[in-house]
Structure formats: C-alpha cells, structure tokens
Amino acid sequence: MKTYKTLLFDVDDTLLDFGAAERLALRLLFEDENVALTAEIEAYYKEMNQRLWRAFEEGTLNREEVVNTRFALLFKAYGIEVDGALLEQKYRSFLEEGHQLIDGAYELIRHLHDKYDLYIVTNGVSTTQYRRLTDSALLPYFKSVYVSEDTGFQKPMKEYFDYVFERIPHFAADQALIIGDSLSADIKGGQLAGIDTCWFNPEMKSNASNIAPTYHIKQLDELYHILNVERDVLVAR
C-alpha cells in the first residue's frame, strides 16, 4: 500500500456541507429581498451557478464575473432587475454563517493531522472560506490554506498547484494525495499536477468523463483504509 505524506483537502462538499450552507444563504437572501424562493428558482440558480463556476475552472470567466453577475442573471430570468454586486455582498454574508460539517469530517481531520501534513486547496472567496473553516473548528488542523482568490489561479489549472507545491516545505509529488468531490476541479487538477487523487462521491454519481481518479470513495472514513491508518474512537468536541 502506498505511503503518503501530504494530504490536500478540498472544502466545499468534501469537508463542509456547501449544499446546506447554500440553501440557508439563498433563503435568507430572498427573504431580505421580499421575494418568494420557489423550488423552481432554486433549481435554476444551482444549474446556472454550476455552469458559471465551470466556466471559471475552464478560465473563460474570472471570479468577479461569476459572483457579481449570477444574481443579476437569476433575478432577470424572472423579470426582476437587481444590483448583482450588492446582492452578492448580502449572499456572501449569509453564506459565511454556513459551516455544517460533512459526516465524519471533523473526526477524520483531527485524527490525521498529527500523522500527515494537511493542507486546504479550494476555489472560492478567501474571507468566506477562512470564516467557515474557523467556525467549523477545522482550521487549526491545517498547516496552510490555499484559496484560488489568493493564488491568482484556480483548480484544475496546473499553475494553481505549482503555486501550492512551491509553498509546501519538502514537497514530494509521489507522496501527495488530493481529496475532493469535483472530477473537473480536484481530480483533473491533481492529474495535471502529477499527484494521486481521491474522488469523494457520496451520491455515487456516474463518471461519464475520461477523468479517472486513483481512488473512489463514498464515505470519508474510507480514507482510513486507503491510508492504512487505524481508526480510533475519538472524544466528541
């Protein structure tokens, strides 16, 4: 079984439940705007938002274009004109409150932090990610956090990983593993960077792409077996 030294963790829908945080933030935003948030509108937003972030990953949109236009586009689709940048600020303040953990995430990170060098690799907004990691009590267990906004690049760009690797002391690619939920960002990015990859796929979505992860897990605690680490019974926070 392969031995790893450096573990790179994605944040959203890998360690923190972004879906739960997003639902709450959307509900609070629409309440603030006195507009009813229907299931149809929420579904439309999610599809559109994912499409915009994919364009960001592909380098055809920058982060500001994504975040400052998505709500203007959303409301415009339903005949309402809004200031997209202003609504983004409101949404961001609500989203920062969301730090719900994925099942087993805290126990896993707490258990691994003294056995491996742990780092965060995430696309997104720096202040939001730091706030959520802090409030979830995960932040102290990581040696450093690399947010795309701070690096000038984003996953899956090789330049993003080059930036990260240059800042990790004594980094060895053959001893590194990235764990994330996104085939297009985490797994593709890891492959482009020449490191092993672990696709966290709790919903067991089919993989119709040509992106093949080194490992494929449904639950975070499956990492114990991959890493050949005995799972301890941990005292709750």
Which residues are annotated as catalytic? 10
Place of tokens 């920058």: 62
Distance CA 135, CA 157 (A): 29
Contact present, 28 and 21 (Cβ < 8 Å): no
Distance CA 201, CA 155 (A): 18
Residues near 208 by Cβ (< 8 Å), separated by ≥ 6? none
Three-state DSSP at 82 gives coil
Tokens of 141: 């267990």
